[in-house]
C-alpha cells in the first residue's frame, strides 16, 4: 500500500474522531440518560445513520456478498425484509418503549413480569454479546484490515502476530468511543462513517460493472443479467441459503427481534429526543435499507461473473473483487470506511453491554442505592473488562471454523424466546411472570435440541445415503440436505408459535391478579410523526414490488 493510501486512511479516521469529540464534549455523561442514551437528544438523521452502520460489519459485508456469489439475488431477503421490520418497530414497539421511558428493553420485562425475568434476559443478551458477537467482530475485522494493508509485510511479522495487533488496535480504539464517550459519541461517529460507507460501498459495484462492461456501468449490468438471468430470481431455487418460504416464517421473526428488541440496535431509537424523531429515524433507515443489496449483494453477483464462479471460497468474493477493480488511490479511503464499519459494530455492542450491566445488573443487584455517577462509573469499568476479554478471545476464533457458519443459528438460542415474551408481554395483560420464564427456558432448550442434535443427525444420515447412492453433484447434495430437515428459520417460527401457546395457556390457568397497564413516564414527548403510517405503508409496498419485479 502506498503513502497516499495510508495518508487517506489516517486522515479520514482522524476526521471522524475529531468531529465526534467536538459534537459530544458538552454532553452530560454523569447521568444514566446522558451516558447510555445521549441525554435523550438524538435526532432522526443521527439515529438512521447509527442504525445502518451498527448493522453493517465485516462479517456481513463479506459474508452476505459471499452468499450472493453462491446463490444470487435471493439472499437479499436479509436486507429488504429488514425495512418492513423497522416499519413495524416504528409503528408498534417504539411508541411503547418511549412511553415507558425505557433505557433497556429488559426494563420493560421487569415492569410487565418481574425482576428475575429482566435479569435472565439481560444475562442472555450479555452472554450472546461476550461469547460470540464481540470476538467475531474483532476477528473478522482484523482479518479484513490485515489483508487490505498487508500488515504482516508492513510490520515484518507473522500472520498471527499481525492479526493480534489488528485485533487490539480495533479493540482499543472502539473501546475509547464506546466506554469513554457514551452513546452519543458512538452515534455521531457512526453517522459520519455511514456517509463514507455509502460512498465507498457504492464504488465497488460501480467499478465492478465497469470492469465487466468495457468501462460502462449500464453495459456491465446488461452483461451481468444476460450471462446468468436465473441468478436474478428473487424467489431463489430449492436448496438455497434463503428459501423463499422462510420469508413468511422465521425470517420476519428474526428481523423483528433484531430491529425491534435487540438492545444493540434499538438503543439508538431509545435515545430519541421524542417519538416523532425516533420514528423518522427508523423510517429513514428502513428506506435506505432497501438500497442495501447494492452494497451487500450486487458485488457478490458481479464477482461470480468476473471470476466465472472459479473462486475457492465464497467468502473471498468481496475481497478479491475489491482488489481487482478498485483503483489504488481509493484503497486507503475504502480501508478507512471499512475500519469505521468494524469500529461501529464493536463499539455499539460494547456500549449496549455496558448499558445492560449498569442498569439491569449493577443497579438492580449489586448496589441498589448507587447514585447515577456510580452506575456510569462501574458500567465503564465493566466495559473495559469486557473489551479486554473479547480481545483475548478473538484470536481463538481462528480455530473455530464452524462459528461463522452457525452464527445465525447460535443467535436463535436466545433471540426467538426473548422476542416471544416481549410480544406476549405487550399484547396481553394477565399472562404471569412464570409464563415468561417457562417461555425462555422451553424456547432455548427445544431450539438447542432441534438444531444441534436432531437436525445434524438427520442431515448426516441423508448425506451418507446420498453418497452411497452415488450422488456427488454439490447442487444435488444441497437439495438432499435441505430435504433432510426443516430450515432453521422454519424451526424458529414453529417454536415461536409453540411458546406463545404455552404462555397463553399458563396465563389462562394462572393469570396475574391485576391487569398490566403501561404507564406514561413523560421522559419524552410521545406524539407520533403525522406521516408515519403513510410512509411506512409506502416502504412496505416498495419491498413487495421489488420481489414481484424480480420473481421468475
- 36 confidence band (pLDDT: 50, 70, 90): very low
Q: Alpha-carbon distance 147 to 141, whole Å?
A: 10
Residue 438's pLDDT is 94
pLDDT band at 177; cut points 50, 70, 90: low
- What pLDDT is recorded for position 332? 76
Bigger pLDDT: 204 vs 197:
204
Q: Can you give the pLDDT at residue 13?
A: 66
Decide which of 81 and 123 is more confident. 81
Per residue in 443-483, pLDDT (tens digit) is 999 999 998 899 989 999 998 998 888 888 877 888 888 88
Average pLDDT for residues 320-330, to the nearest whole number? 83
Residues 6+ apart with CB under 8 A from 166: 141, 142, 143, 145, 146, 151
Estimate the share of the chain in helix, then strand, then coil, as percent rounded to the nearest 5: 80, 0, 20
How much is the pLDDT for 496? 95
Question: Tell me, what's the pLDDT at 104?
Answer: 76
The pLDDT value given to residue 361: 82
* Confidence band for 255, pLDDT divided at 50, 70 and 90: very high
Find the radius of gyration of the CA atoms of the chain. Answer: 23
Mean pLDDT, rounded, for 484-513:
93
CA pair distance 466, 383, nearest whole angstrom: 50
Identify the residue whose cell numbers are 479493540: 171
Confidence bin at 194 (pLDDT 50/70/90): low
Contact (Cβ atoms closer than 8 angstroms) between residue 398 and residue 198: no
The residues pairing with 272 across neighbouring beta strands, listed in sequence order, are 42
Mean per-residue pLDDT for 196-207? 86
> Is pLDDT of 183 > 60?
no
CB 234 within 8 A of CB 74: yes
Is 256 within 8 Å of 419 (Cβ atoms)? yes
- 184 pLDDT exceeds 60? no
Would the pLDDT of 401 be above 50?
no
DSSP conformational letter for 428:
-
Q: What is the pLDDT of residue 402?
A: 42
**257: exposed, middle or buried (Cβ count in 10 Å: 0-12, 13-18, 19+):** buried
Cβ-contact 424, 516 below 8 angstroms: no
Residue 335 has pLDDT above 90, yes or no: no
Nearest Cα residue to 120 out of 501, 514, 475, 438: 438
Calpha distance 208→298 (Å, rounded): 9
The C-alpha cell that represents 531 in the structure block: 406521516
The Cα 251–Cα 266 span in angstroms is 19
Task: Tell me what the mean pLDDT of segment 400-416 comes to.
Answer: 67
pLDDT band at 437 (very low <50, low <70, confident <90, very high): very high
Q: Confidence class of residue 400 from pLDDT cuts 50, 70 and 90?
A: low
Tell me how far apart the alpha carbons of residues 141 and 402 are, in angstroms, rounded to a whole number: 18
Is 387 within 8 Å of 61 (Cβ atoms)? no
Higher model confidence: residue 427 or residue 181?
427
Percent pLDDT > 90 in the chain is 33
State yes or no: pLDDT of 155 exceeds 60. yes
| pLDDT, tens digit, 9 for 90 and up, residues 212-226 | 999 999 999 999 999
Write the secondary structure of 226-284 as one string of H (helix), E (strand) and C (coil): HHCHHHHCCCCCCCCCCCHHHHHCHHHHHHHHHHHCCHHHHHHHHCECEHHHHHHHHHH
Burial 388-418 (b: 16+ CB within 10 A, else e): eebbebbbebeeeeebbeeebbbbbbbbbbb
Ramachandran class of 426: left when φ > 0, alpha when ψ lies in -120 to 50, beta otherwise: alpha
pLDDT, mean of residues 509-516 = 91
Section 382-406 average pLDDT: 73
Instruction: Confirm whether pTM is higher than 0.85.
Output: no
Least confident of 80-94, 120-134, 247-261: 120-134
* Tens-place pLDDT, residues 54-112: 777 777 887 788 889 988 999 999 889 999 999 999 999 999 999 988 877 888 888 89
Q: Is 364 exposed, middle or buried (0-12, 13-18, 19+ CB in 10 A)?
A: middle
**φ/ψ (deg, to 5) at 42:** -75, 140
Q: Which cell is 492 given? A: 424458529
Name the percent of the chain lying above pLDDT 70. 86
Length of the chain: 552
* Alpha-helical segments (H) within 450-487: 455-468, 474-484
pLDDT of residue 171: 84
**Distance from C-alpha of 361 to C-alpha of 353, rounded to nearest angstrom:** 11
pLDDT in tens, 295-321: 999 999 999 999 988 887 777 788 788
Q: Which of 20-34, 173-187, 349-363 has the lowest mean pLDDT?
A: 20-34
- Give residue for cell 438455497: 240
Maximum Cα interatomic distance, the chain, rounded to a whole number of Å: 73
- Tally of CA atoms within 13 A in the half-sphere of 287 that contains its CB: 14
Residue 536 has pLDDT above 90, yes or no: yes
Question: What's residue 17's pLDDT?
Answer: 63
Q: In this predicted structure, what is the pLDDT of residue 40?
A: 66
**Interacting residues of 255 by C-beta distance below 8 A, sequence separation 6+:** 81, 82, 84, 85
pLDDT at 430: 93
Cα–Cα distance measured from residue 261 to residue 347, given in angstroms and rounded to the nearest whole number: 18
Give per-residue pLDDT as tens, 263-292: 778 877 888 889 999 999 999 999 989 988
Q: What pLDDT sits at residue 120?
A: 87
- Please count the other Cβ atoms lying within 10 Å of the Cβ belonging to residue 254: 25
Comparison of pLDDT for 196 and 160, the residue scoring more: 160
Using CA atoms, how far residue 251 sits from 86, 246, 257, 405, in Å, is 14, 6, 10, 17
490 grid coordinates = 422454519
Q: Which residues contact 165 (CB under 8 A, 6 or more apart)?
A: 151, 155, 157
User: What pLDDT digit, counting tens, does each position of 486-498 carry?
Assistant: 988 999 999 999 9
Name which of 255, 286, 287, 281 is nearest 268 in CA terms: 281
Strand partners, 525: 274
What's residue 256's pLDDT?
94
Domains observed in the chain: 3-21+29-400+519-550 (1.20.1730.10)
DSSP state at residue 310? -
Amino acid at each position: 500500500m502506498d503513502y497516499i493510501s495510508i495518508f487517506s486512511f489516517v486522515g479520514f479516521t482522524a476526521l471522524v474522531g475529531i468531529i465526534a469529540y467536538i459534537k459530544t464534549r458538552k454532553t452530560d455523561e454523569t447521568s444514566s440518560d446522558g451516558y447510555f442514551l445521549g441525554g435523550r437528544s438524538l435526532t432522526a438523521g443521527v439515529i438512521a445513520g447509527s442504525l445502518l452502520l451498527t448493522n453493517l460489519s465485516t462479517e456481513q459485508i463479506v459474508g452476505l456478498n459471499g452468499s450472493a456469489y453462491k446463490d444470487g439475488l435471493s439472499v437479499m431477503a436479509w436486507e429488504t425484509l429488514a425495512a418492513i421490520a423497522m416499519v413495524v418497530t416504528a409503528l408498534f414497539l417504539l411508541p411503547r418503549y418511549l412511553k415507558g421511558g425505557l433505557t433497556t428493553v429488559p426494563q420493560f420485562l421487569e415492569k410487565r413480569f418481574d425482576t428475575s425475568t429482566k435479569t435472565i434476559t439481560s444475562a442472555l443478551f450479555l452472554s450472546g454479546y461476550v461469547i460470540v458477537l464481540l470476538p467475531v467482530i474483532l476477528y473478522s475485522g482484523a482479518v479484513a484490515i490485515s489483508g487490505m494493508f498487508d500488515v504482516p509485510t508492513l510490520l515484518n511479522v507473522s500472520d498471527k502476530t499481525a492479526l493480534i495487533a489488528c485485533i487490539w488496535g480495533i479493540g482499543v480504539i472502539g473501546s475509547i468511543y464506546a466506554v469513554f464517550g457514551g452513546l452519543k459519541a458512538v452515534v455521531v461517529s457512526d453517522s459520519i462513517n455511514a456517509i463514507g460507507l455509502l460512498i465507498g460501498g457504492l464504488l465497488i459495484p460501480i467499478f465492478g460493472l465497469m470492469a465487466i462492461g468495457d468501462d460502462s456501468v449500464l453495459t456491465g449490468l446488461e452483461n451481468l443479467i444476460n450471462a446468468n438471468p436465473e441468478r436474478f430470481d428473487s424467489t431463489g431455487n430449492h436448496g438455497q441459503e434463503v428459501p423463499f418460504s422462510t420469508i413468511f416464517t422465521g425470517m420476519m421473526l428474526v428481523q423483528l427481534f433484531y430491529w425491534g428488541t435487540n438492545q444493540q440496535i434499538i438503543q439508538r431509537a431509545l435515545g430519541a429526543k421524542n417519538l416523532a424523531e425516533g420514528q423518522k429515524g427508523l423510517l429513514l433507515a428502513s428506506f435506505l435499507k432497501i438500497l442495501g443489496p447494492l452494497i451487500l449483494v450486487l458485488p457478490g453477483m458481479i464477482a461470480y461473473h468476473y471470476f466465472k464462479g472459479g473462486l475457492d471460497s465464497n467468502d473471498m468474493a468481496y475481497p478479491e473483487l475489491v482488489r481487482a477493480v478498485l483503483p489504488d488511490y481509493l484503497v486507503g479511503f475504502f480501508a478507512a470506511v471499512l475500519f469505521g464499519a468494524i469500529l461501529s459494530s464493536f463499539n455499539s455492542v460494547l456500549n449496549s453491554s455496558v448499558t445492560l450491566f449498569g442498569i439491569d445488573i449493577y443497579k438492580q443487584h449489586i448496589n441498589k442505592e448507587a447514585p447515577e455517577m456510580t452506575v456510569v462509573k462501574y458500567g465503564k469499568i465493566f466495559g473495559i473488562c469486557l473489551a479486554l476479554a473479547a480481545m483475548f478471545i478473538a484470536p481463538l476464533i481462528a480455530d473455530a471454523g464452524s462459528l461463522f457458519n452457525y452464527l445465525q443459528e447460535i443467535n436463535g438460542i436466545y433471540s426467538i424466546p426473548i422476542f416471544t415474551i416481549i410480544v406476549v408481554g405487550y399484547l396481553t395483560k394477565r399472562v404471569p411472570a412464570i409464563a415468561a420464564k417457562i417461555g425462555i427456558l422451553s424456547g432455548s432448550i427445544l431450539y438447542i435440541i432441534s438444531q444441534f442434535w436432531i437436525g445434524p443427525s438427520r442431515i448426516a444420515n441423508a448425506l451418507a445415503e446420498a453418497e452411497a447412492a452415488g450422488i456427488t453433484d454439490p447442487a444435488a447434495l444441497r437439495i438432499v440436505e435441505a430435504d433432510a430437515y426443516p430450515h432453521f428459520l422454519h424451526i424458529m417460527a414453529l417454536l415461536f408459535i409453540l411458546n406463545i401457546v404455552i404462555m397463553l395457556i399458563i396465563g389462562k390457568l394462572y393469570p396475574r391478579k391485576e391487569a398490566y397497564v403501561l404507564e406514561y413516564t413523560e421522559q419524552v414527548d410521545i406524539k407520533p410523526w403525522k406521516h408515519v403510517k403513510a410512509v411506512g405503508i409506502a416502504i412496505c409496498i416498495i419491498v413487495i414490488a421489488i420481489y414481484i419485479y424480480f420473481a421468475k
